[in-house]
Amino acid sequence: MRYLPLTDADRREMLSVIGAKSVDDLFKDVPASARLGAKIGGLPDHQGELEVERAFQAFAAKNVSPGTAPFFIGAGAYRHHVPSTVDYMIQRGEFLTSYTPYQPEITQGTLQYLFEFQTQVTLLTGMDVANASMYDGSTGTAEAVLMANRITRRHKALISGGLHPQYRSIIETTAKWEGFKPVLSKADAEGLEDLIASVDKDTSCVVVQNPSFFGHVRDFTKLAEACHAAGALLIVVVTEVVSLGLLKPPGEMGADIVVCEGQSIGNGLGFGGPYVGLFATRDKYMRQMPGRLVGETVDADGKRGFVLTLSTREQHIRREKATSNICTNAGLCALAFTVHLTLLGEAGFTRLAEINHAKASQLADKVSAIPGVKLLNDSFFNEFTVKLPKPAAPVVEALAAKRILGGLPVSRLIPNDPSVENLLLLAATETATDMGMDPLVAALKEVL
């Protein structure tokens, strides 16, 4: 018995050793008013393993999964093809060293792939230095704001209306307990937002996303100049890291901190996690960076080796006085990212990005040709927003009933805002095909 290993005889023997007459005696210190008098209603009695497997298979069959239906959902979690080699490589013994690399002499495999990961992140973002990863892009964004506050000694963060709503929410939650002021711009579905005029001497940082939550692609060079003139920092967030295969890197725009969600490379959708946050900055801000930094060195014999170059003890023992309370990294997901990106190489990564944009352009042409549907983007990578002639949420539900995962209604993430009620966010990656796009278009026409 895998989950119920003890027999009745085992239980009697254990109770006799500790001097208890029954299992109930173990709970005698819990007041009767705090105990559940009867079993929880509606839950079945325990079953055998085969019966449990069948029950959960039936639950799973109710899901319309990306692998069994046309899939056009994005909004920070993207379906990409992950080569089977990735799963094989991340299970190799070289990487199965201790979780936290406190002893570098016995964790060289872990330290080396983290070093390579950091190198890849700096190349993608156009920045000077990257850490060994964050939990995900959203919490990494909140950490970036805290970092900017420490550097500038200011507490006012301007948050773009093009930033993912869940990222905005996490910044708000962090602000409540860390005592800084987030200034939230209105949702920028049209891509017309101009934050330059809002930057002043009290501004700690400006947080923007590229491509934006609504898919708009922008060059933030002038915004970076305005931030620097006012003594503020520019934080650029990228939720679709594949876009960096084609778009101008944030570092070349003048960004001071770059945060990315790395799920698209090496990691499946996984019902929302676990994911991996990429975090990069300028050399001069390195010591204010959260998390840990792995470096390359040589040992006493002159052989190449790897060490933890930066991992402040404050993060582990000083709590509220710490630079950051991020004490770890998303190691396995970072490894999968590094393996996948290494397999692609620079040319392969660029080609992957080109295919993504081509697929999205194809889908945009097809969908915007439907009567009553308006494309809101003048630029995009692999995701864009359309305005429907009716509320998007019931349309998406109707598509799901036809086993088509036809995008995300913006109202799901920005509720109680009539201006976004008819907006539908659609994404198309290299996994999209004509056999998926055509049924989507036909079903949209029927539902609308």
Tens digit of pLDDT per residue, the chain (448 long)? 566 678 889 999 999 999 999 998 999 999 988 888 777 777 777 788 899 899 999 998 888 888 889 999 999 999 999 999 999 999 988 787 656 677 777 788 889 999 999 999 999 999 999 999 999 999 999 999 999 999 999 999 999 999 999 999 999 999 999 999 999 999 999 999 999 999 999 999 999 999 999 999 999 999 999 999 999 999 999 999 999 999 999 999 999 999 999 999 999 999 888 999 999 999 999 999 998 899 999 989 999 999 988 876 556 666 677 777 776 778 899 999 999 999 999 999 999 999 999 999 999 999 999 999 999 999 999 999 999 999 999 999 999 999 999 999 999 999 999 999 999 999 999 999 999 999 999 999 999 9
Strand ranges (E), 276-334: 277-281, 293-298, 304-310
CATH numbers and ranges of domains, the chain: 66-80+345-447 (3.90.1150.10), 84-340 (3.40.640.10)
**Looking up tokens 């920028």, which residue turns up?**
188
The amino acid sitting at 33 is S
pTM of the model: 0.89
Round to whole Å and give the CA distance between 204 and 195. Answer: 14
pLDDT at 311: 76
Q: Could you give the C-alpha distances from 141 to 159, 167, 289, 320, 322, in angstroms and in order? A: 11, 7, 12, 19, 18
Cβ atoms 198, 183 nearer than 8 A: yes
Instruction: Assess contact for 203 and 168: CB atoms under 8 A.
Output: no
CA distance 157 to 175: 10
What digits encode the pLDDT tens for the residues 271-295? Answer: 888 999 999 999 999 999 998 899 9
